[in-house]
Amino acid sequence: MADRIGKPISQRQLRVGEMIKQSLSMIFIKNEAKIPNLETNVITVTEVKMSQDLKIAKAYVMPLGGKNADEVINQLKEHSFLIRKILSKKVFMKFLPKLLFRKDESFEYAEKIENLIKQTNK
């Protein structure tokens, strides 16, 4: 695996990403981030990718069934400061990374590939 620049992803990036993924998942499951008009317990954190310097964490998320995904992502982006504050009490790092929320499109991509395979097998 390599990032955009072509440098391989370090073990530290992977470990920190996994730690933040688990912590975010627990925050969402327990609905600890009191975001107005958003039930966070239906949000799945599929992956967290860390920047080389560990100062930016891209969290790939998807609401249950993919319903209102863009709206959910926008609310998470809007309240990322609140989520980061709660995360700071669970993850102890020298610098807590800035959280960027992205829609996980891997499920849609996998479904598209699966449909193409089915079409060629007919």
Question: Residues 34-56: pLDDT tens digits?
Answer: 887 877 778 888 889 998 888 98
Average pLDDT in the 81-104 region?
A: 86
Residue 106 CA to chain centroid, in angstroms?
Answer: 12
Question: What does the pLDDT read at residue 1?
Answer: 46
- % of the chain surpassing 70 pLDDT: 92
Residue 65: helix, strand or coil by DSSP?
Answer: helix
In this prediction the pTM is 0.78
Rg over CA atoms, the chain: 16
Predicted local confidence at residue 68, as pLDDT: 80
d(CA 48, CA 58): 5
Per CATH, domain 11-121 is 3.40.630.30? no
Mean pLDDT of 63-91: 84
Q: In the sheet that 98-103 helps form, which strands lie side by side, from edge to edge?
A: 43-50, 56-63, 98-103
Average pLDDT over residues 13-32: 89
**pLDDT band with cut points at 50, 70 and 90 for residue 4:** low
Query: If you average pLDDT over every residue of the chain, what do you get?
Result: 83
What is the predicted pLDDT for the residue at 75? 87
Q: Taking the CA of residue 107 as centre, how many other CA atoms within 13 Å lie in the half-sphere pointing to its CB?
A: 14
Q: Say how far apart CA 53 and CA 109 lie, in whole Å.
A: 29
Pairwise CA distance, residues 87 & 84, whole Å: 5
> Which of 3-7, 22-26, 30-34, 44-48 is the least confident region?
3-7
Which residues fall within 8 angstroms of residue 4, CB to CB, at 6 or more apart?
none
What Cα–Cα distance (Å) separates residue 25 from each residue in 9, 28, 51, 53, 54? Answer: 22, 5, 20, 23, 19
Could you state, in order of their start, the residue ranges of all structural domains in the chain? Answer: 11-121
